C-alpha cells in the first residue's frame, strides 16, 4: 500500500495543472489626473482634499460643495462619473445656486456688481491684480505700500519683510576692510 500511494502522488505531480482563467471584466478607466474647473487634480486623492487644489477653494468650501452636490467627500476623485464632475463644476462656478452660504464666498459685496461672488482660478488672480491697481491709482495707504514693495498688513519692516531679494544688511568683511584702510592712512 505504501508504494502505490507514492506512485499515485508522482502521477499527480507529472500531470500538467490546469490554470483556471477567470473571465476578465473590462476595468473601469482609472484616471490619475482629473480636470475640474480648468485645473488638473490628482485623481487618487479624496474628493474634498482634491478640490482644495483649485485656486480659490479652501477646505471648508470644498466640504460645502460636496455636501451641496450630494457627493461623499471621502470617495476618490477618479471614481466620479462625467455627469458628477459636470455637476461639481457647476457648483464650483455657481455656489449660490446650490444653497451654499455667502459667508464662504471669497468676494462678498463686489464693488462693480454689488453681489456676493465666488471667484476661482485665473478669475481670482485677475480680480486681485485689478484690486491692487485700483488701490495704487487711488493712492490709498495700501496702494502706497504695494507700490513701494513694503508689507501691507502692518508687519514690522525692521528685519523680516525683505525676503524678495532686497538685502540691505552690512557684511563684516567690508567693515573690517574699511577700518584697516583707515588705519593704514593714519
Question: Within the chain, where are the H helices?
Answer: 2-14, 47-51, 59-69, 82-93, 122-138, 141-148, 172-185
Kindly report, residue by residue over 81-135, the tens digit of the pLDDT.
Answer: 899 999 999 999 989 998 889 898 988 888 888 888 888 888 889 998 999 999 9
Q: Are residues 39 and 90 in the same domain?
A: yes
How do beta strands 39-42 and 33-36 pair?
antiparallel
Cα 1 to Cα 8, 10, 13: the distances in Å are 11, 15, 19
Residue 141 has pLDDT above 80, yes or no: yes
C-alpha–C-alpha distance, residues 33 and 10, integer Å: 53
Could you report the per-residue pLDDT of 3-18, keeping only the tens digit for each?
666 566 666 666 555 5
**Is 17 part of any domain?**
no
State how far Cα 1 lies from the chain centre: 73
Query: Is 70 exceeded by the pLDDT of residue 170?
Result: no
Q: Read off φ and ψ for residue 57, nearest 5 degrees.
A: -120, 120
Same domain, 96 and 142: no
Return the pLDDT at 166.
Answer: 54
Task: Establish if 180 belongs to a structural domain.
Answer: no
Classify residue 171: in a domain, yes or no: no
Look at residue 80 and tell me if it is in a domain.
yes
Q: What is the pLDDT of residue 180?
A: 80
Judge if 98 and 135 occupy the same domain. Answer: no
Answer yes or no: do 99 and 125 share one domain.
Answer: no
Q: Are 157 and 163 in contact (CB under 8 A)?
A: no
What span, in angstroms and rounded, lies between the C-alpha atoms of 89 and 93?
A: 6
Do 42 and 98 belong together in one domain? yes
Structural domain count, the chain? 2
pLDDT beyond 60 at 161: yes
pLDDT at 175: 72
Asked whether the predicted pLDDT for residue 167 surpasses 60, the reply is: no
In a domain, 183, yes or no: no
Checking if the pLDDT of 54 tops 60, the result is yes
Do residues 120 and 54 touch, judged by C-beta distance below 8 A? yes
Asked if 77 contacts 46 with a C-beta cutoff of 8 angstroms, the reply is: yes
For residues 21-43, average pLDDT: 71
Boundaries of domain holding 43: 33-104
What pTM was computed for the model? 0.63
Amino acid at each position: 500500500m505504501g508504494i502505490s500511494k507514492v506512485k499515485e502522488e508522482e502521477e499527480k505531480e507529472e500531470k500538467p495543472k490546469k490554470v483556471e482563467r477567470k473571465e476578465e471584466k473590462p476595468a473601469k478607466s482609472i484616471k490619475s489626473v482629473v480636470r475640474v474647473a480648468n485645473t488638473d487634480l490628482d485623481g487618487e486623492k479624496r474628493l474634498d482634499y482634491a478640490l482644495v487644489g483649485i485656486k480659490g477653494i479652501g477646505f471648508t468650501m470644498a466640504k460645502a460643495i460636496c455636501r451641496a452636490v450630494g457627493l461623499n467627500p471621502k470617495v476618490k476623485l477618479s471614481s466620479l462619473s462625467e455627469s458628477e464632475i459636470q455637476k461639481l463644476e457647476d457648483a464650483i462656478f455657481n455656489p449660490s445656486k446650490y444653497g451654499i452660504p455667502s459667508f464662504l464666498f471669497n468676494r462678498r459685496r463686489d464693488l462693480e456688481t454689488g453681489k456676493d461672488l465666488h471667484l476661482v482660478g485665473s478669475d481670482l488672480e485677475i480680480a486681485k491684480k485689478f484690486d491692487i491697481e485700483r488701490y495704487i491709482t487711488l493712492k490709498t495707504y495700501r496702494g502706497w505700500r504695494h507700490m513701494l514693495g513694503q508689507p501691507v498688513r502692518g508687519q514690522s519692516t525692521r528685519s523680516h519683510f525683505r525676503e524678495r531679494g532686497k538685502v540691505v544688511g552690512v557684511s563684516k568683511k567690508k567693515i573690517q576692510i574699511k577700518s584697516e584702510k583707515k588705519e593704514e592712512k593714519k
